[in-house]
Amino acid sequence: MYVTFGEIRIPASAVRGRPDLAELGKKYGCKIVDTGQYLRIVPNVVEEIIKKDGALASSDPEHQEELKKWVVTNLKNMLIDLRTLSC
């Protein structure tokens, strides 16, 4: 897994089966795109921050806190679902 500020990439080989990415995105408040080599995950809060402030800034404590909140609330369970669900 590769994590940057505002984006998470998971190797496609780590995902079992073909989960419904749109449904998982709705469930966990993010957009999930299958690029073929990896899944690109962007929390919806990233788009909200950019609309509100014009950019996502790693030096902004408010941005850090909003992304941390999403990660703590959603990431673990989403990774479990990606590993175990298949459609």
Domains in the chain: boundaries? 2-84
Instruction: Read off the pLDDT of residues 35-56 as tens digits, 9 standing for 90 and up.
Output: 999 999 999 999 999 999 999 9
3 state SS of 50: helix
- Is the pLDDT at 25 greater than 80? The verdict is yes
DSSP conformation class of 54: S
Helix (H, G, I), strand (E, B) or coil at 30: strand
What is the layout of strands, in order, in the sheet containing 7-11? 2-4, 7-11, 38-43, 30-34
Cβ atoms of residues 29 and 74 within 8 Å: yes
What's the pTM? 0.84
Q: How many CB atoms lie within 10 A of CB 43?
A: 24
Residue (of 38, 33, 31) closest to 13 by Cα position: 38
